[in-house]
Structure 1
Amino acid sequence: MNTFLLASSSPRRSEFLKQCHYQFFTQPSNVEETFDPTWENDTIVKELARRKAASVAANHPNAVVLGADTIVVHNGKHLGKPANVAEAKTMLMALSNSTHTVYTGVAILHGNKEHVFSDAAKVTFDELTPERLERYLQSGDSLDKAGAYGIQSFGAIFVSRIEGDFYTVAGLPLSKTAKALEKFHIYPNIG
């Protein structure tokens, strides 16, 4: 059985894989998350996911390595991880009472074999009241997530509707990822 590595420091991605009974090790990548602004959104997340996986795979050539990346796009603007609370507040106010799209790319590498895909989901926010927004910002939950919210945690209080896979919004489309991992003979360990 091949060693399975998650090229991510995301506690959410790690937790999702654990919930699905995968046995893996975490090895964060140190990839600069820059991209050509003329690229299509699905190209951005696929390329960043591939770079993350490749940076870890370079040091672990016999391992199956999974990298992932998520971006939030609202009115054509990319919303990454906010640098501070003020930036998080600006992002969340822009998302208030509107619909945005979340793109997640996944890359799985093993030797010369590569499987890269992306998925997208639309998320609609309620109108954010100042009280809910301030409480959320005080929690610190906004600072390590694209778009300044996590749908699987406190940020769920803003969401009124999702069109697509919940796990795509959360950062790892599990059904598609499981199917892709099977191509590398990586399966949940339930025995």
Structure 2
Amino acid sequence: MKTLILASSSPRRKELLENLQLTFEVSSSDVDESYDPKLTPEEIVMELAFRKASFVSQKHPSAYVLGSDTVVVAGNEVLGKPQEKSDAFQMLKKLSGSTHSVYTGVAITRENESIKFFEKTDVTFWELTEDEIHGYIQTGEPFDKAGGYGIQGFGSMLVKEIKGDYFSVVGLPVSKTARELKKLGFDLPF
């Protein structure tokens, strides 16, 4: 039997894989997520996704190991996860009334094979008032999400438009991931 392991403790990524009715295990990858600031956003997310998948793959070399990472880019600035309320406020203020890009990188490793890819989705926010930003921060949702928002939760009320893969913004480009798993020989429901 082929084993699939999600190298992430993200409940959102777990839920997206469950929606495909795939049988998989979860093994959190405790890796250093720092990166060279000279890297492009696509290089950052693919490198971090590969780092996560490789870490878990060392313990499970014959399994299909799936790693993923997401960053938000506003202008030329890469936004990670806010550490405190003031970080979240500054990020959301920056995203207000403008379009930003969400990059999600995926790496799949198996024995001596690996595939890396990324998806880029453009997200436009409504113009937000300071009260709206503070109200959203009070939900607690911004703190474990790149860019300080979750499109699948309360953050959906901030979003005016998206161009690209919605699931990539949630944290995993599901369709592309399934196709890449299939290329590596993993059995899918159809």
TM-score, with structure 1 as normaliser: 0.96
Residue 41 (str. 1) matches residue 67 (str. 2): no
Contact map agreement 1:23 1:189 (CA 8 A) in 2:
no
The offset of 1:20, in angstroms, is 1.1
- d(CA) in 2 for partners of 1:124 and 1:56? 35
Q: Identity rate of aligned residues, in percent?
A: 48
Contact map agreement 1:178 1:187 (CA 8 A) in 2:
no
Residue 157 (str. 1) matches residue 144 (str. 2): no
- d(CA) in 1 for partners of 2:156 and 2:33? 26
Letter in 2 for 1:94: K
Contact map agreement 2:182 2:188 (CA 8 A) in 1:
no
- Alignment-derived partner of residue 141 in structure 2: 141
Letter in 2 for 1:7: A
- d(CA) in 1 for partners of 2:130 and 2:89? 10
Contact map agreement 1:22 1:187 (CA 8 A) in 2:
no
The offset of 1:188, in angstroms, is 3.9
- d(CA) in 2 for partners of 1:185 and 1:128? 46
- d(CA) in 1 for partners of 2:135 and 2:76? 28
CA RMSD of aligned residues (A): 1.1
Query: Equivalent residues in 2 for 1:35-184 (5 A)?
Result: 35-184=35-184
Contact map agreement 1:57 1:65 (CA 8 A) in 2:
yes
- d(CA) in 2 for partners of 1:102 and 1:16? 17
DSSP-derived class of the 2:115 partner: strand
DSSP-derived class of the 1:39 partner: coil
Segments of structure 2 that go 5 or more residues without pairing to the other structure are none
The offset of 1:189, in angstroms, is 4.7
- d(CA) in 2 for partners of 1:109 and 1:67? 8
Segments of structure 1 that go 5 or more residues without pairing to the other structure are none
TM-score, with structure 2 as normaliser: 0.97
The offset of 1:168, in angstroms, is 1.2
> Is 179-188 or 34-43 further displaced after alignment?
179-188
Query: Equivalent residues in 2 for 1:10-21 (5 A)?
Result: 10-21=10-21
Contact map agreement 1:23 1:188 (CA 8 A) in 2:
no
Letter in 2 for 1:141: E
Contact map agreement 2:7 2:52 (CA 8 A) in 1:
yes
Contact map agreement 2:45 2:68 (CA 8 A) in 1:
yes
